[in-house]
Amino acid sequence: MVLTLYKLDASPPVRSVYMVIEALKIRDVEYVDVNLLEGSHLKEEFLKMNPQHTIPLLKDDDFLIWDSHAISGYLISVYGADDSLYPNEPKKRALIDQRLHFDSGILFPALRGVAVIIFFNLLCLGQDELIIFRGEKEIRPENLAKIKSAYDFTEKILSSDWIAGDEFSLADICCVTSISTLNEMVPIDGSLYPKLASWLDRSSQLPIYKKANEPGLLQFREIFKNKTS
């Protein structure tokens, strides 16, 4: 069975899947770069596989699945030696699912709102809908407010060492790739957000973070620095 992951290292949801692959020690994966800045995701060949034109996209033989959270759940079900990353126990799982939806609904949109305006000149929202940006260099006030609100929520959510309780889980993986990227745009002030700052610090010490999140995060840092200077 050959797994193919369509990816770009700087992308936070792609890095979540990298962290899951690393945690599960899956070795047999082919990686295919999709250059979003050059519009490769809008080509017919890619749209046939993912009409939503997003990465990460996983191909497992003839099975196609996109969205980092769905891909991660799939990989854990198929390759996980146990359920420790994504427990089956209903309450533990519900709490993790809530954090995954928090990532999809609050954290990632907060960073996407900034990234599309700064990184892209053109954004395709649907078949006939295009938005043109001028490659702005500063974070708009309304987007800054969304990032601060995302930090506020996360600070309140964090009541243990990890984001969904006492154990490290898939929730930490998906939230840390988004939050470490937001931290590149708007550095987290530890005096305002002490729990958030120490959770990020704790997560960043993990070998899977260093191996699977850090390299792409450094690429993101460079792109963001170049685009905003």
Ligand X SMILES: N[C@@H](CCC(=O)N[C@@H](CS)C(=O)NCC(=O)O)C(=O)O
Q: Which residues bind ligand X (CB under 6 A)?
A: 11-13, 36, 41, 53-56, 67-69, 104, 108, 124
Catalytic choice (11, 72, 169, 180): 11
User: Does 180 qualify as catalytic in the annotation?
Assistant: no
CB 67 to ligand X: min, Å: 4
Q: Which of residues 197 and 217 has its CB atom nearest to ligand X in the complex? A: 217
Q: Which of residues 26 and 223 has its CB atom nearest to ligand X in the complex? A: 223
CB 150 to ligand X: min, Å: 15
DSSP characters over 56-124: -EEEETTEEEESHHHHHHHHHHHH-SSSTTS--SHHHHHHHHHHHHHIIIIIHHHHHHHHHHHH-SEEE
25-31, long-range: CB within 8 Å, 24+ apart, which pairs? 26/75, 26/79, 28/1, 28/2, 28/3, 29/3, 29/4, 29/5, 30/2, 30/3, 30/4, 30/5, 31/4, 31/5, 31/7
CB 221 to ligand X: min, Å: 15
Query: CA–CA separation, 101 vs 67, rounded Å?
Result: 12
CB 99 to ligand X: min, Å: 13
Q: Which of residues 41 and 146 has its CB atom nearest to ligand X in the complex? A: 41
Query: CA–CA separation, 122 vs 92, rounded Å?
Result: 41
What residues act catalytically?
11
